[in-house]
């Protein structure tokens, strides 16, 4: 799924200095939104273009004995992972590295947001992040600099992702009704970038050569950087947050924080399964699925585009359904939506297992992964934006920004856990492997139902049971 960018509780800091808040030249919004939207679309193009290739590149080429010697510091790097996780095959090492990369990419924005708020200012942090990401993508074109490239991409993503989304809020005054629709446009750009990237970068990498795909991702990031620089005069003024006047925790806030962390801990089981869609799943598509359509073999990376396309197509339907339920006073609360999303996601993985069983040892029919992505999209819409909205609504004002940033810790944990689980892909049948993930995310659904009364009380949701989250495309995106 496309990812939800950081909602900053401090995103209103720059509101009082918003430039052009009354400007309405971009679909009725400030001109600065256009520059942020196109920057984000190109940044997501580069990010997802590279991510679509990464596990295939490592597991089927770079980490093979005849090629791994070309990677600078590879043996100490491998020894470090094996010291923690034990002996690892090529596929297991690739999956473990991928899991660590995904986890760190989603942990870094927590620190990147702090750097933007407290030290550099958001504009400088975004510029630094874009430069690091561009350098990282181009370093991926050289086998020797692979590890350095990953480090640059993690650092750059943290700086950029942790600050660009917050600048959207700074374009509007607090009373401006256009803020939500502004974020809707911003999130749409993320999904568009995530949809297009695997089609271009993935095809270049799989068909013509890995380095062409990585190079295309780097070019995309440079275009995004150029767009951002050209619009600097229309962006919010930077204001570094001072801590001396920050509100303090009140009595009972600690319990609320603990309850939110428990909820996020449960959603990390969802992100474990979702991260596997980026990790072992492409390897399964490559080896087990009949991808031939009209005589042409569909590239593995195109399924990542299908993942984003399914979200784009189904989000309006899910939103309509929630409004229909709301009119009948039947819309479920946030925690129930999370449980339903996890249950749907479990069904999606069970369908993968069923597809493997019905194939009777032969190639799995293409229809199974196609159905899988559309079912996953429904699960994502019930979990990703809802968990973010719930965290933002329940977190105490004094630590709201930090707690919303902690939303990424669930993805961090899920990424690491999925990397560890991927080792079993080689020793279990594919059907057993997918059913195991169905059980993992299904257990999150059960636990959310069981713990709902306690979590609702501790998070003070029972004081506002009628409140419902914004639409998925009105969230600051994954």
Q: Is the pLDDT of residue 153 over 50?
A: yes
Q: Is the pLDDT of residue 8 over 80?
A: no
* DSSP string for residues in 374-415: HHHHHHHHHHHHHHHHHHHHHS-GGGHHHHHHHHHHHHHHHH
Mean of per-residue pLDDT scores for the chain: 85
For residue range 30-54, what is the model confidence (pLDDT) as tens digits?
A: 888 899 989 989 998 999 999 999 9
Q: Is the pLDDT of residue 392 over 50?
A: yes
For residue range 295-304, what is the model confidence (pLDDT) as tens digits?
A: 899 999 999 9
Please state the rounded mean pLDDT for residues 93-120.
88
Please state the rounded mean pLDDT for residues 285-290.
94
pLDDT of residue 28: 79
pTM for this model (two decimals):
0.82
85-94, 156-165, 187-196 — which one is most confidently predicted on average? Answer: 85-94
Q: Are 267 and 409 in contact (CB under 8 A)?
A: no
Please state the rounded mean pLDDT for residues 400-405.
69
22-26, 60-64, 326-330 — which one is most confidently predicted on average? Answer: 60-64
Q: Is the pLDDT of residue 15 over 70?
A: no
Q: 281: which 2 tokens?
A: 């799943």
Q: Are 170 and 236 in contact (CB under 8 A)?
A: yes
CA–CA distance, 100 with 98 (Å, rounded to integer): 5
pLDDT of residue 21: 45
Nearest to 177 by CA among 1, 21, 32, 64: 21
CA–CA distance, 10 with 1 (Å, rounded to integer): 26
Q: Is the pLDDT of residue 476 over 90?
A: no
Which class is 15-240+248-474 in CATH? Answer: mainly alpha
3-state class of 255 per DSSP?
helix
User: Where are the alpha helices (H) located in 22-89, listed in sequence order?
Assistant: 31-57, 65-68, 74-85
Residue 12, CB half-sphere, CA atoms under 13 Å: how many? Answer: 9
Sign of the C-alpha dihedral, residues 15, 17, 18, 22? positive
Q: Are 460 and 394 in contact (CB under 8 A)?
A: yes
Burial of 245 (0-12, 13-18, 19+ CB in 10 A): exposed
Neighbours of 254 (CB within 10 A): 11
Task: Read off φ and ψ for residue 289, nearest 5 degrees.
Answer: -105, 135
Between residues 297 and 9, the one the model is more confident about: 297
pLDDT of residue 66: 95
Q: 61: which 2 tokens?
A: 């080429």
In percent, the amount of the chain with pLDDT more than 90 equals 55
pLDDT of residue 326: 85
Q: Which run of H or E residues covers position 30?
A: none
Between residues 172 and 209, the one the model is more confident about: 209
Residue 293 forms beta bridges with which residues? 296
């Amino acid at each position: 799924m496309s990812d939800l960018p950081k909602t900053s509780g401090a995103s209103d800091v720059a509101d009082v200095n918003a430039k052009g808040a009354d400007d309405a030249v971009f679909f009725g919004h400030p001109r600065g939104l256009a520059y942020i939207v196109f920057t984000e679309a190109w940044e997501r193009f580069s990010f997802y273009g590279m991510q679509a290739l990464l596990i295939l590149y490592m597991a089927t080429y770079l980490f093979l004995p005849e090629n791994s010697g070309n990677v600078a510091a590879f043996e100490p790097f491998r020894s470090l992972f094996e010291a923690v996780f034990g002996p690892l095959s090529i596929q297991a090492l690739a999956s473990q590295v991928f899991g660590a990369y995904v986890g760190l990419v989603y942990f870094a924005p927590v620190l990147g947001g702090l750097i933007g708020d407290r030290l550099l200012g958001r504009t400088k942090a975004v510029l630094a992040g874009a430069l690091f990401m561009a350098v990282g993508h181009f370093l991926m074109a050289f086998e020797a600099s692979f590890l350095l490239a990953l480090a640059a991409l993690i650092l750059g993503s943290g700086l950029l992702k942790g600050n660009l989304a917050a600048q959207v809020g700074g374009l509007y005054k607090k009373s401006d009704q256009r803020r939500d629709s502004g974020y809707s446009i911003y999130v749409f750009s993320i999904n568009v970038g995530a949809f297009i990237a695997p089609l271009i970068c993935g095809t270049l990498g799989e068909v013509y050569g890995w380095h062409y795909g990585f190079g295309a991702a780097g070019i995309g990031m440079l275009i995004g950087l150029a767009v951002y620089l050209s619009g600097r005069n229309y962006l919010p003024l930077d204001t570094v947050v001072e801590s001396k006047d920050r509100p303090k925790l009140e009595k009972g806030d600690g319990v609320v924080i603990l309850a939110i962390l428990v909820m996020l801990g449960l959603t990390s089981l969802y992100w474990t399964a979702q991260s596997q869609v980026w990790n072992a799943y492409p390897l399964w598509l490559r080896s087990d699925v009949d991808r031939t359509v009209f005589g042409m073999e569909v590239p593995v990376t195109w399924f990542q585009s299908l993942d984003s396309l399914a979200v784009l197509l189904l989000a309006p339907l899910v939103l309509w359904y929630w409004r229909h339920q709301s009119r009948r006073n039947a819309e479920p609360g946030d925690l129930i939506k999370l449980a339903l999303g996890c249950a749907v996601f479990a069904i999606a993985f069970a369908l993968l297992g069923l597809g493997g069983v019905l194939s009777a040892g032969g190639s799995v029919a293409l229809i199974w992964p196609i159905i899988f992505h559309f079912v996953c999209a429904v699960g994502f819409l019930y979990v990703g934006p809802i968990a973010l909205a719930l965290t933002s609504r329940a977190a105490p004002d004094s630590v709201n920004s930090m707690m919303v940033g902690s939303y990424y810790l669930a993805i961090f944990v899920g990424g690491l856990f999925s990397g560890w689980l991927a080792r079993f892909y080689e020793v279990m049948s594919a059907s057993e492997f997918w059913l195991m993930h169905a059980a993992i995310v299904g257990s999150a659904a059960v636990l959310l139902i069981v713990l709902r009364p306690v979590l609702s009380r501790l998070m003070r949701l029972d004081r506002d049971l009628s409140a419902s989250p914004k639409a998925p495309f009105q969230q600051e995106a994954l």
